[in-house]
C-alpha cells in the first residue's frame, strides 16, 4: 500500500481464541471482548474444565448473564479434551450447536491444563469422529517434556505430535493456536486448507527480549512464551500475507495482578480492551492495512463455515491511552500496553 489512510472500515471481527474465565472475573472482562468482537471462541480451561454438553451450556448461560444488555455478542463454546473424552458427548454437543470446536491441551502445558491429554493415542477415536463430523480441533501446540527447552516446545510439538495428527486425520480441521515460531507458520502454510492458525496481538508486537528488558517483566509472560525476533518477524509476515490460513485470536488471558506478580507468576496477557488497535498498529507498520480485514474478519468465518458479520467496525488513526489497570470485580488487571498509547483507535460499530 502506498497511501496512508486515517480511517478504516472493516466487517466486524471475531476473536477465535479467548479466555473469559468465570465468576467475578468473567463479569469484569466479558464486555471488553464483546465491545469489539461479534463472536468469540471461548476457551474451556476452567477449574474444573468444560467437558460435557451440560457444562458447555451452563457456561454459555453464565457468559450471557454477565454480558451488558446493549452488547450483541455470541460466545462459541469449546469442549476440553481429556484422556477419557467420549466421542458421543463431543459430537452430540457439536450437532446440538453447543460446542463449536474441541480444545486439545497437552497435560500440564499451561494454566488449568492438568486434565489435558497425556497421549494422542488416547483420543484417536474422538479425533476420527471429529474428522467425520467436520468439528475443528484447536491445539495448544507445546510439548510438556521437561527435558525440552521452553523456547523449543512448539517446534518439537510439530515433529512429535502435530505432523502425526495431520497425517493420521487428513480431513480433520485443525487450528494451530497462538503460533509463536516460523516453524509453526511454515507448517501451517505447507499443510492442506483444513489446517490454519491463530496469531495473538502480543506475539506480533514483542519478542522474548521484552520479558527481560531491564529486569523480569511478568506482564510479558504468556504461553507459548514469546520467541526470538526472527520468529516475531515470521509471524508478522504470515499474518499480513493475505493467506486465508491465518486469523485473529487474541488469547486474552486475564489473571489478577497478585497472581502475575508472584514468586511463581501465572502465564497470560490481558489484551482484550485494545485488541483490534494493537493488530491495526502491526498491520499499519507492515504497510498491510489492506490485509487487516481478511485476517480479523473474513478468514476465521470461512474456516469455521460461518457467515461474515454484517456490522462494520470503524477504526481511526488517532491515539488512545491504555490505562495502567482495569478493575474486574475484586480483581485488578494490568493490560497489555498498560500506560502506552495505541496509534489506532476503535471508533465504533455501524450496525448492518
- The binding site for ligand NCD (CB under 6 A) comprises 19, 45, 110-111, 140, 222-223, 251, 253, 267-268
Nearest to 280 by CA among 295, 268, 269, 270: 295
Shortest reach from residue 316's CB to Zn ion, in Å: 29
Q: Tell me whether residue 251 is one of the annotated catalytic residues.
A: yes
- Enumerate the H helices of 122-246 as residue ranges: 124-133, 153-157, 163-168, 182-190, 201-205, 229-239
15 scored as a contact of Zn ion (CB under 5 A) = no
Residue 262 CB, nearest approach to ligand NCD (Å): 14
Look at residue 250 and give the partner it binds from ligand NCD, Zn ion, none, a contact being a CB closer than 5 to 8 Å depending on partner kind: none
Q: Which does residue 102 bind out of ligand NCD, Zn ion, none, counting CB within 5 to 8 angstroms by kind?
A: none
| Angular region, 122: left φ>0, alpha ψ -120 to 50, beta rest | alpha
For residue 346, give the DSSP letter.
E
In angstroms, give the least distance from the CB of 311 to Zn ion.
Answer: 26
Q: How far is the CB of 110 from ligand NCD (least distance, A)?
A: 3
Q: Is 131 in the site for Zn ion (CB under 5 A)?
A: no
Asked if 334 and 260 count as a contact pair (C-beta separation under 8 A), the reply is yes
Instruction: Report the residue number, 10 or 43, with the smaller CB distance to Zn ion.
Output: 43
Residue closest to 52 by CA, chosen among 32, 80, 26: 80
The listed partner (Zn ion, ligand NCD, none) that binds 314, CB under 5 to 8 Å by sort, is: none
**Judged by CB under 5 A, does residue 251 bind Zn ion?**
yes
Least gap, CB of 286 to ligand NCD (angstroms): 24
> Among 14, 251, 256, 284, which one carries the catalytic annotation?
251
Nearest approach, Cβ of 199 to Zn ion (angstroms)?
12
| Binding window for Zn ion (CB under 5 A); candidates: 92-100, 249-257, 288-296, 339-347 | 249-257
Q: Cell for 89?
A: 458427548
Question: Applying CB under 5 A, does 183 fall inside the site for Zn ion?
Answer: no
Q: Of 184 and 289, which CB lies nearer to ligand NCD in the complex structure? A: 184
CA angle 35, 290, 136 (to 5 degrees): 60
The angle, 0 to 180 degrees and rounded to 10, between the axes of the packed helices 229-239 and 275-285 is 90
Q: Which stretch binds Zn ion (CB under 5 A): 82-90, 196-204, 207-215, 250-258?
A: 250-258
Residues 6 or more apart whose Cβ sits within 8 Å of residue 304? 16, 76, 100, 101, 136
Nearest to 90 by CA among 121, 45, 134, 60: 134
Whichever of 112 and 345 has its CB closer to Zn ion, that residue is 112
**CA separation for the pair 187, 200 (Å, rounded):** 18
Core vs surface per residue 240-264: b (16+ CB within 10 A) or e:
bbebebbbbbbbbbbbbbeebeeee
**Binds 223, which of Zn ion, ligand NCD, none (CB < 5 to 8 A, cut-off by type)?**
ligand NCD
Active site residues: 251
Contact residues toward Zn ion (CB under 5 A) are: 251
Amino acid at each position: 500500500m502506498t497511501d496512508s489512510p486515517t480511517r478504516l472500515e472493516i466487517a466486524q471481527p471475531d476473536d477465535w481464541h479467548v479466555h473469559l474465565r468465570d465468576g467475578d472475573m468473567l463479569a469484569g472482562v466479558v464486555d471488553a471482548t464483546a465491545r469489539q468482537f461479534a463472536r468469540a471462541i471461548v476457551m474451556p480451561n476452567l477449574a474444573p474444565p468444560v467437558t460435557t454438553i451440560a457444562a458447555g451450556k451452563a457456561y454459555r448461560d453464565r457468559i450471557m448473564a454477565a454480558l451488558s444488555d446493549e452488547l450483541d455478542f455470541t460466545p462459541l463454546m469449546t469442549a476440553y479434551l481429556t484422556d477419557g473424552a467420549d466421542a458421543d458427548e463431543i459430537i452430540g454437543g457439536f450437532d446440538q450447536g453447543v460446542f463449536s470446536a474441541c480444545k486439545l491441551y497437552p497435560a500440564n502445558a499451561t494454566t488449568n491444563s492438568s486434565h489435558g491429554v497425556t497421549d494422542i493415542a488416547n483420543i484417536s477415536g474422538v479425533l476420527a469422529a471429529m474428522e467425520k463430523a467436520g468439528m475443528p480441533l484447536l491445539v495448544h501446540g507445546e510439548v510438556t517434556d521437561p527435558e525440552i527447552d521452553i523456547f523449543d516446545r512448539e517446534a518439537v510439538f510439530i515433529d512429535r505430535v502435530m505432523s502425526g495428527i495431520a497425517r493420521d486425520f487428513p480431513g480433520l480441521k485443525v487450528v494451530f493456536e497462538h503460533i509463536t515460531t516460523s516453524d509453526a507458520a511454515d507448517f501451517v502454510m505447507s499443510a492442506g486448507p483444513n489446517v490454519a492458525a491463530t496469531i495473538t496481538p502480543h506475539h506480533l508486537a514483542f519478542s522474548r527480549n521484552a520479558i527481560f528488558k531491564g529486569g523480569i517483566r511478568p506482564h510479558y509472560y504468556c504461553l507459548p512464551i514469546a520467541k526470538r525476533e526472527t520468529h516475531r518477524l515470521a509471524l508478522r509476515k504470515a499474518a499480513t500475507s493475505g493467506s486465508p490460513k491465518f486469523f485473529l485470536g487474541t488469547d486474552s488471558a486475564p489473571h489478577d495482578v497478585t497472581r502475575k506478580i508472584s514468586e511463581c507468576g501465572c502465564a497470560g496477557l490481558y489484551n482484550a480492551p485494545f485488541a483490534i488497535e494493537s493488530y491495526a498498529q502491526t498491520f499499519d507498520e507492515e504497510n498491510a492495512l489492506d490485509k487487516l480485514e481478511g485476517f480479523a474478519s473474513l478468514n476465521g468465518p470461512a474456516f469455521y463455515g460461518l457467515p461474515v458479520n454484517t456490522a462494520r467496525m470503524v477504526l481511526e488513526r488517532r491515539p488512545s491511552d491504555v490505562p495502567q489497570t482495569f478493575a474486574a470485580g475484586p480483581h485488578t488487571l494490568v493490560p497489555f500496553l498498560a500506560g502506552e498509547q495505541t496509534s489506532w483507535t476503535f471508533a465504533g460499530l455501524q450496525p448492518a
